[in-house]
Amino acid sequence: MDYNIAVLPGDGIGPEIVEQAIKVLKAIGNKKGHTFNFTYGAVGAAAIDQEGDPFPAGTLQLCMKSDAVLFGAIGDPKYDNDPKARVRPEQGLLAMRKQLGLYANIRPVTTFSSLIHKSPLRKDLVEGADFVVIRELTGGIYFGDKGRSEDLNTAFDNCVYTRSEIERILELGFEYAAKRNKRLTVVDKANVLATSRLWRETAQDMTPSHPEIEVDYMFVDNAAMQIIQWPKKFDVMVTENMFGDILSDEASVITGSLGLLPSASVGIHTSVFEPIHGSYPQAAGKDIANPIATILSAAMMLEIALDLTSEAQAIRDVVERSMSEGVVTEDIAEGKSFKTSEVGDWLAANL
């Protein structure tokens, strides 16, 4: 089979880690008889430098006609340090989500036995933790009306959700729970926020249609606490945009390294697969960044977007082997460390 993949390396370490994922995809393609056609597009600070737009029309068109999108990272210090910058790399990420209809971010949180000791939590708390955070991605406070008063001393950000937006993301949550351990946790702040009350009402209305799923509700502050106290109690968690942004980052650290976790943004037009970490500009060009999260994102792409389940599992298996054998970058190495490119080469060769 032939598949068309849009590749958006982005900023910082993005090009280096995406290059390793492409090595692995080519290797699994050769092994299983698939051809991946990679076409590159600009996004983020790189796109601003080239075209003055963090998500140019050409990149949008490329994504729309592709079977899936493999994305690196966005962000550059020259914009972070300029609060008055008119155009920012992160605007490209929001534009991509909106224009591609990327309504759901899916972040699996899994632990690797060889790295349990690097978790900030005790081994008995984190060993065996395996859950998924599903975050609504195109609504809420990030996309509501915002502004400042004329004297600049007052600012506002409106949080808005419609029932249809909530139903769409909750249905995905029910689907994932049905494939896993049939438990769904809906996270909100319904004791304070009107939007959260709509979330909870909608979930309660939908629950009778999914009698096989055990549904519970949790305020976001309680969820933040319980992720740390009892991470193994969760199966599938679904929540709104800002809460999901915070909770998924919190959950990610229990595995021991941000460099290990992939994500998928499921869309109406196509889906985007990316590591959860940022552009890490301090490491850019040094061949030291951990490519594992991007490679596991490529595995998610194979499974979710292309329905290549066995190929995805083969990549996960060889990643597990690389970590157990110590073929890892300096951020998680115990002794000898390997370069970003060396890890990619080893994984491709051992597929």
pLDDT value at 83 more than 70:
no
Q: Is 221 a catalytic residue?
A: yes
Domains along the chain?
A: 1-102+261-351 (3.40.718.10), 120-255 (3.40.718.10)
Spatial contact of 343 and 291, defined as CB atoms under 8 Å apart: yes
The residue from 82, 205, 216, 221 that is catalytic is 221
The residue from 76, 189, 280, 331 that is catalytic is 189
pTM: 0.88
Q: What is the pLDDT of residues 212-235, one digit of tens each?
A: 999 999 999 999 999 999 999 999
**pLDDT of res. 7:** 98
d(CA 263, CA 323): 20
pLDDT value at 82 more than 80:
no
Q: What is the pLDDT of residues 40-56, one digit of tens each?
A: 999 999 999 999 999 99
Q: Ranked by mean pLDDT, which of 71-80, 245-254, 280-289 comes out on top?
A: 280-289
**pLDDT of res. 256:** 74
The residue from 249, 287, 339, 345 that is catalytic is 249
What is the pLDDT averaged over residues 277-306? 95
What is the pLDDT averaged over residues 31-43? 97
What is the pLDDT averaged over residues 229-244? 97
Q: Is 189 a catalytic residue?
A: yes
Q: Is 151 a catalytic residue?
A: no
Cβ neighbors of 181 (< 8 A, separation 6 or more) are: 235
d(CA 178, CA 184): 9
pLDDT value at 266 more than 70:
yes
The residue from 130, 142, 182, 217 that is catalytic is 142
The residue from 103, 245, 280, 331 that is catalytic is 245
**pLDDT of res. 85:** 72
Length of the chain: 351
Q: How confident is the model at residue 115 (pLDDT cuts 50, 70, 90)?
A: confident
* Alpha helices, H only, 210-263: 220-229, 241-252
Q: Is 142 a catalytic residue?
A: yes
Q: Is 49 a catalytic residue?
A: no
